[in-house]
Amino acid sequence: MSTLLRLVSVEAGYRDLVAVRDVSLEVRAGEVVALIGSNGAGKTTTLRAISGLLPVRRGRVELDGDRIDGRPSSAIVGRGIAHVPEGRQLFPTLTVRENLELGSRDRRGRASALEDVFALFPRLRERERQPAGTLSGGEQQMCAIGRGLMAQPRLLLLDEPSLGLAPVMVKLIFETLQAINTRGTTILLVEQNVPRALALAHRGYVLENGRIVLDGPRETLQQSPHIRQAYLGL
């Protein structure tokens, strides 16, 4: 598989705080790659640096071998990267359909993209005229993921999609992510539910205190003594 996304020695942060330093990773086309770590490890910062929401201070971010760091986030979306942020961040007074349509970049392809999202999430079709703020937490997460998919991305960045959800909804969300990947969308997943993340991912990286400390195929990470003790409670 060819490399779709590559980070090389990336440093990023907020004002005087360096949140991640010397982070290098790659995501190959068609993969699900998990980025795991505890709260404050720098996972969200890494995604924000990729999508242009946070400047890269050192290093570089490449898509298909071309540098995209330093470009505005709108241009990065135009290159095929969609970012589903932690906490959903929907517009609560807008309807489900209106929230989804805000994710579309192409008016001509909007109707077909909307049908694709409704096929993945039938519950959103049932609630398309309902204000997003009245949805359950799981339904809001469906809407947030659907909004990202409306851009028809090649690479989907997902930040904590299971956060605050009931187990039955977590199961449904991860089954849908599997379907999204099977259709051909590459996924970089930030997730604190480590067993779920590793069960879905092909490979993973462990981020601690702003640095990558471990990486490898899913099976290697699942059997790692460090992962089993620190993140699986074994």
Residue 14 located in a structural domain: yes
CATH code assigned at 67: 3.40.50.300
Residue 34 lies in a domain: yes
Residues 6+ apart with CB under 8 A from 125: 118
- Number of domains composing the chain: 1
pLDDT tops 90 at residue 53: yes
Whole-number average pLDDT of the chain: 95
Answer yes or no: is 99 within a domain: no
> pLDDT value at position 234?
61
Residue 89: inside a domain, yes or no?
Answer: no
Residue 36 lies in a domain: yes
Largest CA-CA distance found in the chain, in angstroms, rounded: 51
* Token pair belonging to 170: 């977590």
What is the domain extent for residue 206? 1-80+155-165+186-234
Query: Residue 27 falls within a domain, yes or no?
Result: yes
d(CA 46, CA 191): 13
**93, 131 Cβ separation under 8 angstroms:** yes
Helix residue spans in the chain (DSSP H): 43-50, 73-78, 96-101, 110-120, 122-126, 137-149, 167-182, 194-200, 218-223, 225-230
Please write the tens of the pLDDT for every residue from 61-112: 999 999 999 999 999 999 999 999 998 899 999 999 999 999 998 778 899 9
- Percent of the residues in the chain that have a pLDDT greater than 70, as a whole number: 99
3-class state of residue 88 by DSSP? coil
Reported as a pLDDT band with limits 50, 70 and 90, residue 1 is: confident
CB 101 within 8 A of CB 117: no
b or e along 24-43 (b: 16 or more beta carbons within 10 Å of the residue's beta carbon)?
Answer: ebbbeebbbbbbbbeeebbb
Least confident of 30-34, 36-40, 46-50: 36-40
Q: What predicted TM-score, i.e. pTM, was given to this entire model?
A: 0.94
Residue 210 in domain = yes
What band does 37 get if pLDDT is binned at 50, 70 and 90?
Answer: very high
Q: For the segment 198-217, what is each residue's pLDDT rounded down to a tens digit?
A: 999 999 999 999 999 999 99
Could you tell me if residue 206 is inside a domain?
yes
Per-residue pLDDT for 232 more than 80?
A: no
**147-166 average pLDDT score:** 96
